[in-house]
A and B are shown apart, each in its own frame.
Chain A
Amino acid sequence: MKFGDLSLAERIRCFRRGTAWRTGPYVVHARVPIRFAARHLAWLYQDFEVLPHEVIPDAEISVRVAGFAWRRVSIFSDGAVRYRRVARQQLVPLLEWTMNLSVFHRPTQNLLIHAAVVEKAGEAVLLPGEAGSGKSTLCAALVHRGWRLLSDEVAVIRPSDGYLLPVPRPVSLKEGAIEALREFAPTACLGPVWPRTAKGRVAHVLPPTASVQRMDEPAGPAWIVFPQFRPGAGCQLEPLGKADTLLHCAGNAFNYSVLGRQGFKTLAAVIDICSGYELVFDDLEAAVRTLESLHGRRDAGLAVSGGAWS
């Protein structure tokens, strides 16, 4: 049963009392006893299956309120306080960040790269980049052109075969990206804009139902594109050498150094089968068109089955 199958009141009650759901390989449990935040999470996770209480979560998030004042609200993850004195407009964005941190900072054999990931026709594009690079905006735009959302935040690479494991979660947009997506995709399901967070204005895009339904279908990496939003720069896609692609990916990885030799071998094998590019853009429509054109340029024989894992 999905959260969306429940009545609104039941959904909100779930999140207020504590509930669990799965996103890709991770089980998250959240307890948010504040009505408006519980309601928002119930909306964001409407397509996710409600898990039974006995399931052991990988990440446990909770909001605790001491007294009635807003300054007494704290966010905990795995029993440790993450944020104290959380202001009302910061609660939902901080909950989402806490979930990201709790889920993606766990020890794992998978290689984790700070990147958005989308897929079409079995071929995935990784969009690694720091905050402000435009990766989330580009990811949200591609998703509204029929690409499947695997992740807005972290590429999870399985070392045994190089496949990308989907971790579909709400896409977090900041500042001007909110209006840019509204203009690009007027029908996009965007939640309320949370003003004055630590990262400015933030809004979340609902993960598409189809992407959530296909969260157990990994995808083969085909391209690694480093986006860089730069006003006035036009739209330019430049090929990147394999060595530079590897170094840039390593620089954007969360656990590359922790995995050591295995991390290098996994990343090098992914680079074997991917084409690397740098994309400078100032217009979402042009950037999406450019990335869509990559499908036509794909070299034969670069499919995952022909790569280092075959």
Chain B
Amino acid sequence: MSSSLWRARKADLIWKDWGEELRVVYDVASGDTHALDRLSSEVVDLLQEGSLTGQQLVSRLARGLRVPPFDLMRQVEDLLPRLDRLGLIDPVS
């Protein structure tokens, strides 16, 4: 897994959680609305707290979700560029 640092692109996100599989996030700056699954929303949540590498993200998510880190590595690796394309996160250069 790459050691690039990632951060949430915007602080101004409004979350709506109905306790279902999908959470909705409204990006105030772009006006876009996204439905994110639990893992995606946890990633954006964590990156809103501060910049993290993919490995740091996996380790924090694994603790929070109580799953082995190895199970999450591939998912997080796929997820980061997708969230980048949605404009929710970006790599720290």
Beyond A247-B35, A250-B33, whether A261 also contacts B23 by CB under 8 A is no
Distance, CA A247 to CA B16, complexed state (A): 12
Task: Verify B31–A243 contact, CB threshold 8 A.
Answer: no
Task: Verify B35–A264 contact, CB threshold 8 A.
Answer: no
| Least distance between B39 CB and chain A CB atoms (Å) | 15
Beyond A257-B31, A260-B31, whether A265 also contacts B20 by CB under 8 A is no
Task: Verify A247–B24 contact, CB threshold 8 A.
Answer: yes
Chain B interface main SS type: strand
Q: Which of B20, B21, B33 contacts A264 (CB 8 A)?
A: B33
- Residues of B within 8 Å of A243, CB to CB, are 16, 18, 20, 22-24, 35
Asked if A40 is at the interface of the complex by the 8 Å CB criterion, the answer is: no
- Residues of B within 8 Å of A250, CB to CB, are 33
Q: Which of B21, B28, B31, B33 contacts A246 (CB 8 A)?
A: B33
Offer 6 A-B interface pairs, CB within 8 angstroms, sorted by A. Answer: A241-B21, A243-B22, A250-B33, A257-B31, A261-B28, A264-B26
- Residues of A within 8 Å of B16, CB to CB, are 243, 246, 264, 268, 271
Distance, CA A284 to CA B28, complexed state (A): 41
- Residues of A within 8 Å of B26, CB to CB, are 261, 264, 268
Asked if A78 is at the interface of the complex by the 8 Å CB criterion, the answer is: no
Task: Verify A264–B22 contact, CB threshold 8 A.
Answer: no
Asked if A242 is at the interface of the complex by the 8 Å CB criterion, the answer is: yes
Task: Verify B14–A247 contact, CB threshold 8 A.
Answer: no
Distance, CA A262 to CA B26, complexed state (A): 11
Q: How many A-B residue pairs have CB under 8 A?
A: 41
- Residues of B within 8 Å of A260, CB to CB, are 28, 31
Chain A interface main SS type: helix
- Residues of A within 8 Å of B22, CB to CB, are 241, 243-244
Distance, CA A242 to CA B21, complexed state (A): 10
Distance, CA A261 to CA B21, complexed state (A): 23
Distance, CA A247 to CA B33, complexed state (A): 7
Interface residues of B in 1-55 (CB under 8 A from A): 14, 16, 18, 20-24, 26, 28, 31, 33, 35
Task: Verify A244–B35 contact, CB threshold 8 A.
Answer: yes
- Residues of B within 8 Å of A271, CB to CB, are 16, 18
- Residues of A within 8 Å of B31, CB to CB, are 257, 260
Distance, CA A257 to CA B20, complexed state (A): 24
Task: Verify A261–B24 contact, CB threshold 8 A.
Answer: no
- Residues of A within 8 Å of B21, CB to CB, are 241
A-B contacts besides A242-B18, A243-B18, A261-B26, 14 pairs, CB < 8 Å: A241-B21, A243-B22, A243-B24, A244-B35, A246-B24, A247-B35, A250-B33, A260-B31, A261-B28, A264-B14, A264-B16, A264-B26, A265-B14, A268-B26
**Max chain B C-beta neighbours (<10 A), residue from A241, A243, A247, A260:** A243
- Residues of B within 8 Å of A264, CB to CB, are 14, 16, 26, 33
